[in-house]
Amino acid sequence: MNPSPIAGFWTLFQKEWLRFWKVSVQTILAPVLTALLFLVVFAHSLRGHVEVFPGVDYAAFLVPGLAMMSVLQNAFANSASSLMQSKMTGNIIFVLLPPFSHQEFFTAYLLAAVARGLIVGAGVFAATVWFVDLRFGHPLWALVFAAAGSGVMGALGIIAGIHSDKVDELAAFQNFIILPLTFLSGVFYSIQSLPPFWQAASHLNPIFYMVDGFRYGFFGVSDVSPWLSLAIVAASFLGLSFLTLWLLRTGYKLRS
C-alpha cells in the first residue's frame, strides 16, 4: 500500500507542534506575560496623555500592536529555533533522510510556526481583554493579517535557521533585524506622529504594514490603506516562500 501523499507533511507538522506545545510555559505563557507587562507599563504611563486615534483609548490602541508583535516574533522563533537546535544536536539527519519533499518540509515547519504565533496572539488577547475595551470593526481583516504576517515570519525563520550555523548567528539575526523591525513598526505609536523622514523610513519596514493592517481590523482606522498593506505582506510572503523552497531544494547548509 502506498503511503498517503500528506503523510510526510503530517508527521513533520506533529513533530513541530509537539516541540513547542510540550514546553508551552516557555513558548506560550512567557510571551503572553511579556506582552502583559508591556501593556501595564506603557498604558499606566501614557493613558490620558496620548490619543493616537480619535476616541480610542491608548491602552486599547496598544493591545492589537502587542498581540501582533507577539504573533510575529513567536512565529519567527518557532521555525528558526527548531532548525537551529536540530542542526546543533545532529538530529536534522532524521528529517533529511526520509523521502520528504521540500514542499512538505516547508509547509510543515511554516504551519507549525503560524500555529504558535496565532496561539500566542490569542493568549495575549485573553490576558488583556479584561483591562481594555476593544471593538472589532473588521475582524476578517485582523485574521487575514495575523495569518499572513505569521506566515511571513515563519518563512523568514526557516531561512534564518537554515543559514545560521551557531546560536550566536541566530541571536544576531533576532537582535539586529527582527527585534528592531518589530519595535519600530508602530506597535506603540502611529507613524503619523513621527517627523517626515522617519515616516518615510517606516514605510520601508514590511512589519509596519502587518501591524497597521491588523490594527485596522479593530478600529477601522490605519496609517495606510489596508489593501496596500495586504499587497505588500502578500508579496513579502510569496518572495520569502520561493526563496525558502529554493534553499530547501538545493540543500543549502542542510545536505552539504
Is the pLDDT higher at 27 or at 50?
Answer: 27
pLDDT in tens, 51-83: 677 777 888 889 999 999 999 999 999 999 999
Least reliable range by pLDDT among 2-11, 92-101, 241-250: 2-11
The pLDDT of residue 1 is 44
Mean pLDDT of all residues belonging to the chain = 90
The pLDDT of residue 241 is 97
Alpha carbon of residue 4 to chain centroid: 30
Contact in structure between 163 and 83 (CB atoms under 8 Å): no
Contact in structure between 122 and 30 (CB atoms under 8 Å): no
Share of the chain above pLDDT 70, in %: 95
The pLDDT of residue 3 is 54
Q: From CA 103, how far away is CA 69, in angstroms rounded?
A: 27
| Neighbouring C-alpha atoms within 13 Å toward the C-beta of 145 | 30
Residue 92 pLDDT class (50, 70, 90 cuts)? confident
pLDDT in tens, 108-157: 999 999 999 999 999 999 998 888 878 888 999 999 999 999 999 999 99
Residue 5 pLDDT class (50, 70, 90 cuts)? low
Q: What are phi and psi of 174, to 5 degrees?
A: -70, -45
The pLDDT of residue 70 is 96
What is the rounded radius of gyration, in angstroms, for the C-alpha atoms of the chain?
19
Residue 176 has pLDDT above 50, yes or no: yes
Q: From CA 235, how far away is CA 46, in angstroms rounded?
A: 35
Placement of cell 521555525 in the chain: 79
Q: From CA 121, how far away is CA 28, in angstroms rounded?
A: 9
Q: Which three cell numbers mark 106?
A: 516547508
H-helix or E-strand spanning residue 119:
helix 102-128
pLDDT in tens, 195-234: 888 889 999 999 999 999 999 999 998 899 999 999 999 9
Residue 35 has pLDDT above 60, yes or no: yes
Q: From CA 124, how far away is CA 74, in angstroms rounded?
A: 12
Q: From CA 185, how far away is CA 187, in angstroms rounded?
A: 6
The pLDDT of residue 129 is 83
Contact in structure between 236 and 242 (CB atoms under 8 Å): no
How buried is residue 44: exposed, middle or buried, by Cβ count under 10 Å (0-12/13-18/19+)? exposed
Contact in structure between 214 and 68 (CB atoms under 8 Å): yes
Sequence letter at residue 184? L
Q: From CA 209, how far away is CA 212, in angstroms rounded?
A: 5
pTM above 0.75, yes or no: yes
